[in-house]
Chain A
Amino acid sequence: LAKTTQPISMDSYEGQEVNITCSHNNIATNDYITWYQQFPSQGPRFIIQGYKTKVTNEVASLFIPADRKSSTLSLPRVSLSDTAVYYCLVGPSNTNAGKSTFGDGTTLTVKP
């Protein structure tokens, strides 16, 4: 299972765009990249998943370069409620998806 590396923490201000990068040098051919958000005392919440290039949904964008050794989660115009821990997971998109290893995550603090 690919190991991921993320910044431990990031600070931002309301209304700014936030980009969180995750390194996954040992990503396998059949691995997908998934990002989760977790608030204290809650389960992680699915944000976005991608395999290559760019994926966008109503809350975020995910940028994956051609070599797939890293990925960047982009949160447009963050608000105070986006303060949370963000996890990048790399693993197979099959029934073993849950065996992907959670890294330490990035604690994002949004300030007014």
Chain B
Amino acid sequence: GNSVTQMEGPVTLSEEAFLTINCTYTATGYPSLFWYVQYPGEGLQLLLKATKADDKGSNKGFEATYRKETTSFHLEKGSVQVSDSAVYFCALKMNTGFQKLVFGTGTRLLVSP
């Protein structure tokens, strides 16, 4: 079946460091890909998305590029802030019918001042 694999956390960085959170997927066909973020005590929020190969999603300084050849959708940010501390989930959704979101296990990011 369809699945998403994320790097295990926590990822611990100092403020202004470069962030990469790896995400790879397995799917029959070509899914849409997403990153969600969950701040402490809050619900999941859609951070960015890409619907086809080579698309780049971006939001709040975060970016991810849909790489079909490596089945990857790695999340990057050039300079993290303490306020970016959260759990990040990679997810996929097939583009036909009422296809459900399939989430990865999440990666906790901790940014220290």
A binds B: no
**A: which residues have CB within 8 A of B?**
none
